[in-house]
Structure 1
Amino acid sequence: MTHDTPTFTLAELAERLGARLQGDGTRRVGGLATLRDAGPDQVAFLANRAYLKDLPDTRAAAVLLAPAHGEACPVDRLELDNPYLGYAELSRLFDPLVGRAPAGVHPTAVVADDVTLGANVAIGAQAMVESGVVLGDGVVIGAGSVVGADTLIGADSRLHANVTVYHGVVIGARAILHSGCVIGGDGFGFAHDGERWHKIAQLGGVVLGDDVEVGSCSSIDRGALGDTVIGDDVKIDSQVQIAHNVQVGDHSALAGCVGIAGSTRVGRHCMLGGGVGLSGHLTIADGVQVTGMSLVTNSIHAPGVYSSGTGAMDNAHWRRNAVRFKQLDDIARRLARLEKVGRRG
């Protein structure tokens, strides 16, 4: 622990989490670590059975775990039915970023005269905030970030360093935008006359709901006509591309390198694994999960888990299967003819 690290008693943590404490409630801790790495002033957690092997030798002050694993714990423990959810809560308590952005405008920042600043807004070094922007209470604009004209950012949202928000974007409360992400760039809109491309002006905007998080180097394009809309509590990983006029429903999560083509609608409570690609103009129902590296080219109208592609295998085996894949249509036709003959017989 450093002198700046907040500390809590185990009793305070148990009350905050709604956990059952088995041990010394007066013991004070100031950090969170893995079972293997935790020291005597830190809390560890066990949310995956794969790490049960590390429990007997942990040096943690206490372990957050499910009641079923309590008897095997050699140190004080905090029992909770969903220890991973409890870990999420503890991680925010010990987050070193909390309270690290003092309110005020850095002398090197450029802020237009007509910008509306809420209470306790922090604008970092060399940031730029253009005309007509409204920043809610507690907003943090990181160093080098740009907020385009007429953009609205809700209370307690944070832009980390070097975020670019184009003009006319609406961002809800408590959003987190990580470094390098771009919100409101032009969608990929061009018309071809047979020889060359002609740009289509992108006249819409982007609307992000409350509690949205966007990972580093992700892009959310503005709408061509109308807005690209990201619902409340949507979590977007790094290097994700969301094209113009896409809609993503509340509480959905998109893992790294997902790509969604224009005008596709993703429902509520959906999960897209890493590298998933969605073609344009599709509708994805609520409650759909698509596993990593899958390509979706047709709408999905019922909740469930969907996959495409094949897993990795040794190259020689893959090459043989690739040849057979090319023969599938011919094999299917021959099988149909044989079945037809069999029915006649």
Structure 2
Amino acid sequence: MRLSELATLLGGELVGADVEIGRVASLAQAGADSLSFVAQKRFIAAASQSAAGALLARPEAVPQLGKPCIALADPYLAYARAARLLHPAPVTVPGIHASAIVSADAQVAASAQIGPGVVIEAGAVIGERCVLQAHVFVGSHAQIGDETLIHPHVTVAAGCRVGARVILHPGAVIGSDGFGNAWAGDHWEKIPQIGRVIIEDDVEIGANTTIDRGALDDTVIRRGARLDNLIQVAHNVVIGEHTAIAACVGIAGSTTIGARCQLGGAAMISGHLEICDGVTILGGTLVAKTIRQPGAYSGSYPMQGHGEWLKNAAQLRHLDELADRVKQLEKRLAALSAAAEEAE
């Protein structure tokens, strides 16, 4: 693709030679046919010295780069769009592999691609131009929306609904039973999990992420949300539109997370909470109470040498005692101040 054509498609301005571009690449791995990007000032020097044939950059950075550029306001977003243009997804090849097991009661669009070893149970619905790769399982009466891509070894359990243009990465489990048990005095009794998982349009779910079905109401992942790998979403959780959640986050049952939130890796979210729209939770943070104000929240303890950490941990054990001593000292100081004023 000529750089001028790409600039038009991205809504940017071509600066410099109209070179031909064949791929996107990092600054370190780029070659003469590669397009890379400069999103921060600290990478300008590296970009100017790289072998990249062209760059995406903000207008103010272009004069310092000495290469053909597309100037635009958000180089990182432009990179995402350029990558889709230069590296398009494989074309869907309609048909059902001979080794797939498809119930006679299932509805599979003629334009869908059903790979080897796929199992589709009775009453399931597979939409137009869907791709189900090897060994996907779709349970009874589950529904998969148009143009959804499901990678190998994904499970979509009975009754669950997956919207259009969703991506489910390998090993994801949609609709496993929620962790519901009642204590009967000497043993646990399982609580049937009769809700569903509802995944709305344009959602992406990472590899080996598990989303439990609701106990009564549904577990819901709203439109445009992004979930990374190895995330646990418990029963009856609701995740808002365009919220992004990084790997290894755990969300306990019946918690609602608002729209456009960002949760850093390994954050832990307790159950029955509400997190409002526009909240950022930093990695490793434990959220144990409802958040009603947008903003950034953190609760992780900074890393230290182990010896220093042990000393500080020992002091923390005496924090209540220290607080009591401070209160007593404040009372004594107030009494001494009052006596001094009377003496004057």
TM over 0.5: yes
Distance 2:111 2:2 in 1: 30
Whichever residue aligns with residue 167 of structure 2, its letter is I
In the alignment, structure 1 residue 12 sits paired with structure 2 residue 12: no
Partner secondary structure for residue 21 of structure 1: strand
Letter in 1 for 2:134: A
Tell me the equivalent position of 1:258: 249
Task: Tell which structure's C-alpha radius of gyration is larger.
Answer: 2
Q: Does 1:38 align with 2:39?
A: no
1:49 is matched with: 41
CA distance in 1, matches of 2:323, 2:85: 59
- Alignment length (residue pairs): 336
Give 1:321's match in structure 2, choosing from 295, 312, 320.
312
State the shift of 1:24 in Å: 2.9
Q: Which deviates the most, 177-186 or 60-69?
A: 60-69
Alpha-carbon distance in structure 2 between the residues aligned to 1:286 and 1:195? 42
2:239 alignment partner in structure 1: 248
Shift of 1:100: 4.3
Alpha-carbon distance in 2 for matches of 1:255, 1:56: 32
Partners of 2:333 and 2:317 in 1: how far apart? 26
Note the alpha carbon deviations across 1:126-164, whole angstroms, 9 max, x for none: 111111111111111111110111111111111011111
**Aligned counterpart in structure 2 of residue 211 of structure 1, from 193, 202, 206:** 202
The list of structure 1 runs, each at least 4 consecutive aligned residues, that deviate by more than 4 angstroms after superposition, is none
Deviations 1:302-330 (A, max 9, x none): 11110102011111110110011111111
Q: Deviations over 1:225-260 (max 9, x none)?
A: 010011110000000000000011111010000000
8 Å Cα contact 1:36-1:57 kept in structure 2 = no
Residues 148, 167 of structure 1: 8 Å contact kept: yes
Instruction: Find the partner of 1:296 among 287, 290, 298.
Output: 287
For 1:48 and 1:109, the matched residues in 2 are separated by 48
Look up the match of 1:114: 105
Contact 1:55 1:72 in 2 (8 A): no
RMSD of aligned residue pairs (Cα, Å): 1.2
Task: Give the alignment partner of residue 51 of structure 2, picking from 59, 68, 76.
Answer: 59
- Answer yes or no: is the 8 Å Cα contact 2:54–2:69 preserved in 1: yes
How far is 1:101 from its partner?
Answer: 3.6
Tell me which moved more, 117-126 or 184-193: 117-126
Q: In structure 1, what is the Cα distance between the partners aligned to 2:20 and 2:105?
A: 48
Cα deviation 1:151-207 (Å, max 9, x = unaligned):
111111110111111000111111000000100000111111232111111000000
The equivalent of 2:339 in structure 1 is none
- Per the TM alignment, residue 93 of structure 1 is displaced from its structure 2 partner at its CA by 1.7
Given the alignment, which residue of 271, 276, 297 partners 1:306? Answer: 297
Structure 2: gaps spanning 5 or more residues: 337-344
Deviations 1:64-114 (CA, angstroms, capped at 9, x unpaired): 111121011122111111000001101212336x12441111111111112
**Partners of 1:171 and 1:146 in 2: how far apart?**
13
Moved more, 113-122 or 226-235: 113-122
Gaps of 5+ in 1: 1-7
CA distance in 1, matches of 2:104, 2:114: 14
Distance in 2 of aligned mates of 1:217 and 1:46: 32
Q: Is the contact between residue 23 and residue 87 of structure 2 (CA under 8 Å) also seen in structure 1?
A: no
Which one of the candidate residues 69, 72, 89 is aligned to 2:64? 72
SS in 2 for 1:56: helix
CA contact (8 A) 1:187 1:222 kept: yes
Read off the aligned partner of 2:151 and give its amino acid letter: H
Give the counterpart of 2:114 among 120, 123, 126.
Answer: 123
Query: Which residue number in structure 1 is paired with residue 15 of structure 2?
Result: 22
| More displaced stretch, 332-341 vs 185-194 | 332-341
Aligned partner of 1:226: which letter?
A: D
Q: Distance in 1 between matches of 2:30 and 2:201?
A: 34
Distance (whole Å) between structure 2 residues aligned to residue 95 and residue 283 of structure 1: 39
Residue aligning to 2:259: 268
Q: CA deviation at 1:50?
A: 3.5
